[in-house]
A and B are shown apart, each in its own frame.
Chain A
């Protein structure tokens, strides 16, 4: 299991750089929202997947670096991922079953 702790944690300077990246991704998200609002050709079907992609990137960065999951033993990743995937599968299935429009 020693190899799972081989990665060095980021330094404070690197944490700040990660936070700046998160802020930039958030700014891009907001810009996409306004593009979708103001440009007819830039439809929801184009903006929504991009917004979800950006949210996933932010999610992974916070979990991996700020929560240190990438430096932890794989058991924790398995627990965390299982909960996330189980919830996604359950609720996407429920939303489809109830006829709700999912994401788009």
Chain B
């Protein structure tokens, strides 16, 4: 099928699949992210149950991530991230109905909930370090910090994108149709970060 190009008043949109190429690109990117997080989750699963007594001086006990997990705390964090997916989809819905004010409110709420999640992760990491588990304590601890740290970095990047959309909308008094697609793309990214956490929460925290 030949490339189709049309204009939305601001720039050309190219599509040969009937799907905007930016949207297609985002879905392909998210699909590739499964490989990235799959590697980190596998890494954690590989190292979580091994014997690390050789890593500690005689007489000291091995500190493993799962001995330090605070499940009630992490459950609340998971709930917060799940609810941020709700506010994100409500932002997209508000924009689709042309309500710019409500879009900004939901974008801000999503960023706020994401910040609460990141704050929880910083608190969790700080607690673990204070209890003696650092990035270099043993391979299981290292795998845990790398996995959850990279996920946190993704959330942080998502918050920056949300703040950008909020700032643009505030400055212009609303988002154009083209910028509206950006809300959808950021939303896809945000929901993806959420589904990765769904997997991490189950495999890393809940299953022994």
Q: CB within 8 Å of B: which residues of A?
A: 1, 9, 12, 15-16, 18-19, 22-23, 26, 29-30, 32-34, 36, 44, 47-48, 51-52, 54-55, 58-59, 62-63, 65-67, 72-73, 75-76, 79-80, 82-84, 86-88, 90-91, 94-95, 98, 100-103
Contacts and interface: CB of A to CB of B under 8 A. Distances in A.
A101 B198 contact: no
B198 A58 contact: yes
B18 A1 contact: yes
B207 interface: yes
A20 B46 CA distance: 34
Contacts of B205: 33
Interface in B12-47: 17-19, 23-24, 27-28, 30-35, 37-39, 41-42, 45-46
Nearest to B41: A91
Contact of A15 (B37, B93, B194, B195): B93
The 5 closest A-B pairs by CB, nearest first: A83-B31, A87-B38, A19-B86, A87-B34, A55-B202
A19 B85 contact: yes
Q: Interface of chain A, helix or strand or loop or mixed?
A: helix
A67 B26 CA distance: 12
Contact of B90 (A12, A52, A101): A12
Given A1-B18, A95-B46, A16 B31 contact: no
Contacts of A36: 208
